[in-house]
Structure 1
């Protein structure tokens, strides 16, 4: 697969194996992604699907809509999404020689694909995975899920007639976009293509009449169950690639008629995205070039210290709500380069034959070192390692092992010492929010409705909080004595002494309700009073675990820009 920028949009071109020949122009496939958090959940899977289709001789393009992912910033509207699909088809034809094309859309992407098909010549089929037939139903579902999330305590779901954006896991849906989505009604448009595949993820009373209407108008409709939908539409730490449904999609696409040749409209293609004050370069590196990263560097003079951005398990290299895209471009404006990267098995870095979980995996530290090597080759000999949660673990361990790391700026580190193989589901269950967080949630009516309906794990919450209280009391007493040699507290304190001896600036950032604060307290006392410079702890008030709230994200980025500027100035002065 080859990274590509076309008219400010970032994409991946998956071409058939070298030497593969066909008697006619091949059928091309454009994958139209889901939106916001649903795209994060399904991103890795669409890479696998694109590889499968290319292996069957179908050149395939997957891409980020404008204003999303690694694409250029901009307002997202229904019209812009449709226009991006049109651009993507033109790019695929230009770069691969494909003639007829099929569109394959997932969730909101299915509705966008169906609407865009009318504007594209030579669309022979549209596959709609977990399709959205009416935008109003989709919007109700999205807003309802947002209203019971912990983020709703920080960014309440606005009323439909409000001009305020909806925040879902850090992704902002403008009021205009919500109004746009509410107008979607696929039953009111002509058949998008002569062949349609419908793979419903869940029962939808609108779907049977939609399928019947398509058939009545002469469309060949194939219906297959999306049997593995629920396992796929999960947080990336636990989701499963829907192999059965993807096999059905692959078989259907391969059987589509595609003899015609369609001229490709010219599209501007570039290997680099040039933005105001910076440029972004997609790079493959590491063993077998399996690791992907996006280098963001200033167009002018750059500091010798760069940022290495390691994401958490629930996202890929763009970060939740594009947090790392925004941070990277902001740092570049200040003259600081960065690399945001995916470990293998995450985002755009395929796992290959490696069946180990990529989360908290010490063996994947070699990939982090490969990222540091890449930055050094591009002229950045010193690095500040960033990370959140599992990414914080990778950044912490990279900083301990590699002397090129001069700073460790991490958010919500859960444990200093991690035992690989611990079940992530058990960890999640034992990492319930703090008592302060639950007290804050009591002011949210949606949380009360969720608890009283039986959907809240009240017994689990009580059990974990009681266990945590006993543990904190035990460690408070134990902390009055020097740690035993070889014990976890002794090891952690020695790690901090080693970093201090190297003058590594260590910034441990926590949301005020994160259970990781308990880990700090166990090792360094209440309010981390035993922690010594150059290490320091910053607690962010009114902050969720992922820093998805709009206010805390603004405060965090401003703090990081200042901290990076100070660190760069110090290292410039030191030569």
Structure 2
């Protein structure tokens, strides 16, 4: 694997490229991370998935949105609209690196929604989409984030901080800032509506029940060939039951995603 920076001087993005082992094939996959603390929790699983896809003959790129991870920018500068543009930049970069005509997108949680938006933006550059534990309803997702943070009880950890308007407003959620702007963007997520008109084969895979999953399953079944919904009993990559189950990788899910891709 090769770590590197790409993008523009004003918006430098950090990525890790996993070339297809043996240099075979021109198939390419872009991994789109979730948001906030779910990014941190899922990192090991995304690395493992990238490694598995590389071994299966896919040129794979995982990267950090601007303002997150090792990319440039402050955490309060990160937002969903910017991440959407970053995905488009990453698609172009991966096509150049791999020589592939099109790229498959695997998005986890909010990353799944962003991947769908990017596929609308660049339909001819995307061939397939995997929605991994996707956020379906943003309003309910935002409520879950606040509830999780408010009920977290860790010795020595203070209650969440609120931020003044000059710092973007909003509050801290699980140790990371959630600005008023990003909260508004999250609340507007409606995955099923966003999927309307997508021509790409789409695979949704979930590990636990959640808001909107019945509706998503019904929508995908009605969509017919090329759309598949599955639920697997496995650990959610984006959530950690600290400290007992910290760092667990959902092996069954990762293997199923890889097999669907093949």
Aligned-partner Cα distance in 2 for 1:46–1:38: 11
Distance in 1 (alpha carbons) for counterparts of 2:62 and 2:16: 5
CA contact (8 A) 2:150 2:160 kept: no
1:218 deviation in Å?
A: 4.7
Please state whether the residue corresponding to 2:69 is helix, strand or coil: coil
Q: Does 1:122 align with 2:125?
A: yes
Secondary structure in 1 matching 2:209: coil
- Equivalent position of 1:372 in the other structure: none
Alignment match, 1:51: 51
Note if contact 1:82-1:115 (Cα within 8 Å) is conserved in structure 2. yes
The within-5 A match list for 1:153-172 is 153-156=158-161, 164-172=169-177
Matched residue, 1:225: 231
How far apart are residue 29 of structure 1 and its match? 0.5
Deviation at 1:134, TM superposition (A): 1.1
Q: Give the alignment partner of residue 194 of structure 1, picking from 193, 197, 200.
A: 200
Q: CA deviation at 1:150?
A: 4.4
CA distance in 2, matches of 1:230, 1:215: 23
Q: Confirm whether residue 134 of structure 1 aligns to residue 142 of structure 2.
A: no
Q: Is there any run of 5+ residues in structure 2 with no aligned partner, and where?
A: none
Corresponding residue of 2:248: 240
For 1:229 and 1:114, the matched residues in 2 are separated by 24
Q: 1:350-369, CA deviations, whole angstroms, 9 ceiling, x for partnerless residues? A: xxxxxxxxxxxxxxxxxxxx
Greater C-alpha Rg: 1
Q: 1:403 maps to what in 2?
A: none
Query: How far, CA to CA, are the matches of 1:140 and 1:224 in structure 2?
Result: 25
In the TM superposition, residue 168 of structure 1 has moved relative to its aligned partner by 2.1
SS in 1 for 2:227: strand
Cα RMSD (Å) of the superposition?
2.2
SS of the residue 2:21 aligns to: coil
The two structures have a TM-score, normalised by structure 1, of 0.41
Q: How many residues align?
A: 246
Give the equivalent residue in structure 2 for 1:91.
93
**Distance across 2 between alignment mates of 1:246 and 1:60:** 14
CA-CA distance at 1:142 after TM superposition = 0.4
Quickly say closer, same or farther: Cα 1:230–1:157, change in 2 above 3 A. Answer: farther
Does the C-alpha gap of structure 1 residues 157 and 218 become closer, same or farther in structure 2, counting only changes over 3 Å?
farther
What CA deviation, in whole Å up to 9, does each residue of 1:200-237 have, x standing for no partner? 22213512322333443455222222422247621587
Q: For the Cα contact (< 8 Å) 1:130–1:226, is it kept in 2?
A: no
Question: Does 2:153 correspond to 1:147?
Answer: no
Find the aligned partners of 2:45 and 2:211 in 1 and give their Cα distance: 27
Select which of 218, 222, 242 maps to 1:216.
222
Whether the aligned pair in 1 keeps the contact of 2:109 and 2:134 (CA below 8 Å) is yes
* Contact 2:202/2:226, CA 8 A, preserved across alignment: yes
Counterpart of 1:62 in 2: which secondary structure?
Answer: strand
Cα deviation for residue 105 of structure 1 reads: 0.7
Deviation, 1:192, is 3.6
TM norm structure 2: 0.86
- In 1, Cα distance between the equivalents of 2:252 and 2:115? 22
Cα drift, residue 136 of structure 1? 0.7
Q: Which has the bigger relative contact order, CA under 8 A and spacing at least 6?
A: 2
Q: Quote the offset at 1:170 in angstroms.
A: 2.4
**Cα pair 2:202 2:228 within 8 Å, conserved:** yes
State whether residues 91 and 125 of structure 2, in contact with CA within 8 Å, keep that contact through their aligned partners in structure 1: no
CA distance in 2, matches of 1:81, 1:230: 23
Q: Does 1:207 align with 2:213?
A: yes
Structure 1: gaps of 5 or more residues: 255-575
